[in-house]
Amino acid sequence: MKLAPQPKKPVVDRLAFVLQWGCDPYDGHDEMLRKVRLRIDRQIAAGVCERAYLGASRYRENFRILVDGGSKALVQIGAVDPVRQKGGVRIELNPAKFKPGDVQQLHLVMRKIIGRCVYNRLMRKPLLQVIHFAVDILHLVLSNALVQYQNAQLMTVIAKRVSMNGIVEGYNYGSVSSNYQTAVYDKHRERVHAAVLALAKEGAAGMGRDPLKNNKVRQLDAAINGCETTRVEVRSKKMRGLPLWKLPQQTNRFARFRFADLSGSGSELPPFVERAFLAICRQDGVKVALAAFKHDEHARKVHKYWRSRQAAWWQPEQLWEQACEALRESKIFPTSAFEQPTANA
C-alpha cells in the first residue's frame, strides 16, 4: 500500500552566530586575546579542540570543538574589525547532527575559553549570521511531484539536477550571491550516494573481517531500503547580525513553495497533453507551463489538473513555527535570548 507524503518536523541544518565580545579594540583587547589564546592551546593539548586552517580568515584564532557525538563546531575569536563584524566571537555548527550532551559540552568548552560569566552574558544577545532550516517529506518521490517557487527573481546555475535517466533530482532557487537560497532535492538518492562513497573510500579489501567496513555495508543497505524522502531547505545565508528574537518575524520562505502530488488523486489529462505540461513545468516552471496552454483547447483541463493535485499536506505556516521552535528546543541559546528586550534593558 502506498503511503501518503508526510512532512517531518523541521530541523536546524546549519547555524552561525556572533557574540559581541571584545568589540572595543581599545578596552584591553590585546590582553583579552592573549589570555584566550593560552586557554585555546590548553584545550587543543587536551584533545578537546583542533586547529582550523581557513586561509584568509577575518579572525585571529580559528579552531574546532570536538564534541563526543562526532560533530565539530567551528569557533573564530578575535575579529580583525570587531565593530564592522559586530562581534569578536563567531560560532558555526550543524545542530541537526548534534547528539544528546553535545550542546552542553560546547558550552562547557566555551566557558573555559572566554570565561563563564562573560560567555553566559553574551549568549543572551547573540546575533544571527546564517541559519538553514530543513524539512524532510517522507514517502514523496520528487519525480512524482511538481514544485512551484514563487517570487524568485534569479535561479542558480545548478537550478536543476537531472540523472542519466532524465529523472529530476533537485532544484535550487536564488542566485549564488543572494542573501537567501532555497532547495528541493531527493534526499533518499543523496543518502545512497553518500553511503556508496563511504564504502568505496574504505575499500573492499578485508570485507567480512573489518567491523568498520561491515558497518559501511549496513549503512548502504539501510540507505537503499530506506523510504523515499524529499528534502526542502531554506538557507538564510546572510542575516547580517539579526537579533534572535526577530527571527519569527522574518519572511516565511516555506510559504513560497507549492507542491502538486502527481501520485495522488485528481483530474486527468490526455496522456500526450499531460506529458507536454509536465515537461514544460520541469523545464521552465509551472507559471510558464500554465501560460503556454492559455489559448489552447486544453487550457481549462490543464488548470483544473494543476489545482486538483495541490498537496494538502504542505502547511508552510505551521512548518515555519516549528522551525523557529526547533532552534529554541536545541538548547543552544538560553530562553532569555528569544525574548524581546525591554526599553530599559
Whether residue 213 contacts residue 202, with contact meaning beta carbons closer than 8 Å, is answered with yes
Quote the CA–CA distance of 34 and 36 in Å, as a whole number.
5
Q: Is residue 164 part of a domain?
A: no
Length of the chain: 345
Give the DSSP letter string of 248-268.
GGS--GGGGEEEEETTS----
- Greatest alpha-carbon pair distance for the chain in Å reads 77
Q: How many domains does the chain have?
A: 1
Residue 34 lies in a domain: yes
User: What domain range is 118 assigned to?
Assistant: 21-124
Domain contains 238:
no
Within-domain flag for 39? yes
Torsion of CA 233, 197, 191, 228, to 10 degrees: 130
Q: Classify residue 136: in a domain, yes or no.
A: no
Q: Please give the helix or strand (H or E) that residue 228 lies within, else none.
A: none
Per-residue pLDDT 10s for the chain (345 aa) are 678 899 999 999 999 999 998 776 556 667 888 999 999 999 999 999 999 998 888 999 999 999 999 999 999 999 888 778 888 899 999 999 999 999 999 999 999 999 999 999 999 999 999 999 999 999 998 888 998 888 766 555 444 555 555 667 788 888 778 888 898 988 877 665 565 666 566 665 444 555 555 555 555 555 455 688 899 999 999 998 999 999 999 999 999 999 998 887 889 999 999 999 998 988 888 889 999 999 899 999 999 999 999 999 999 999 999 999 999 999 999 999 999 987 655
Does residue 205 form part of some domain? no
Domain assignment of residue 144, yes or no: no
CA distance between the termini of the chain: 58
171: in domain: no
Between CA 174 and CA 181 the distance in angstroms is: 5
